[in-house]
Chain A
Amino acid sequence: MKTEWPLWEVFIRGQHGLNHRHVGSLHAPDAEMAIKNARDVYTRRNEGVSIWVVEAAHISASSPSDKGPLYEPSESKVYRHPTFFDIPDEAGHM
């Protein structure tokens, strides 16, 4: 029998209008307790207005060993950055 609680990843939204951000992880027996534990572990100092939790096992991640083929090709493609346009002053900050 497995005696460890599953691992959950915790995402907190700091203010209305901002995105949820990954803040850390914790153990809990189920989703409801994971939210409660996240409340107690990660929002003690007024950090959040909304909590998401997801069981870590349900997250699919890219493999670090694929770093080369996945990310290096974009390093040489500066033309993908929209830095070659003259922005009219009237447009302001973009």
Chain B
Amino acid sequence: MTDRDALFEYLLRLGDNTLVLGHRVSEWCGHAPVLEEDIALANTALDLIGQTQMWLGLAGDVEGEGRSADDFAMLRDVWDFRNLLLVEQPNGDFGQTMMRQCLFDAFHFDLLSGLAGSTDDRIAAIAAKALKEVTYHVDRSSETVIGLGDGTEESHRRMQAALDLLWPYVGEMFMPDAVDTALHEAGIAPDLPALRASFDTRIDEILRQATLVRPDNAYAHSGGKTGVRHSEHLGHLLTQMQWLQRAYPGAAW
């Protein structure tokens, strides 16, 4: 694998994470339990889609074959996607959505903090811009997890169930492969295992305040960011997200 291939692959991971999660969160538009949360979720989704445009746009530049961010988003199939399994998981109830968001935001914040110091100026600039948005995301999602976890008996039960369901998808975020290692050694990306400590500190404090119990199951699903084994949910998501470009190729407005 050349340096360029590794960088391209890495940028797809960054862009596909924000694309798939952004689409997932946008599924709440018009359906959230209260108006205020509906707007807040739509804002988050739009932040993530905006970040996607930057990451996948840069991926296209690096690849050098004239593919745009839209081409990557709308014209690839499941096996080409490089997002984490966590972000393609279904929304479930509002609590499950916010738990998924909180787990990803905590990781995303540390990742972007590292990328803001990247030796690649283009990556550092995108990360610095995204970091402001994500600082708010993690603030909001962690407060919601705390509020619902330490809320009523029902909300507590739902949040614990969401945590138990999603915990096996946490490990993949911090599992480095050849791409992550190459980018870290080049000074472009942070060391993933080193991010885990900061994640654990933050999440443990959130869970403590939320009166939720961290599962002691260390099992981790994997195969999302390598594209080897996505869950069945990603295909269903893509049929919704891509149908217009598939049905009317090149449609623009």
Contact = CB atoms under 8 A, between A and B. Distances in A.
Interface of A: 5, 26-29, 32-33, 36-37, 39-41, 44
B69 to A, nearest CB: 23
Contacts of A29: 147
A37 B40 CA distance: 7
B209 interface: no
Contacts of A26: 35-36
A37 B37 CA distance: 8
Assign chain B's interface to a size class. 10 to 19
A36 B137 CA distance: 10
Contacts of B39: 37, 40-41, 44
Interface string B135-158: 010011001000100000000000
A28 to B, nearest CB: 7
Contact of A41 (B36, B136, B139): B36
Given A27-B36, A40-B36, A41-B36, A33 B143 contact: yes
A27 B33 CA distance: 12
A33 B34 CA distance: 13
A26 B40 CA distance: 13
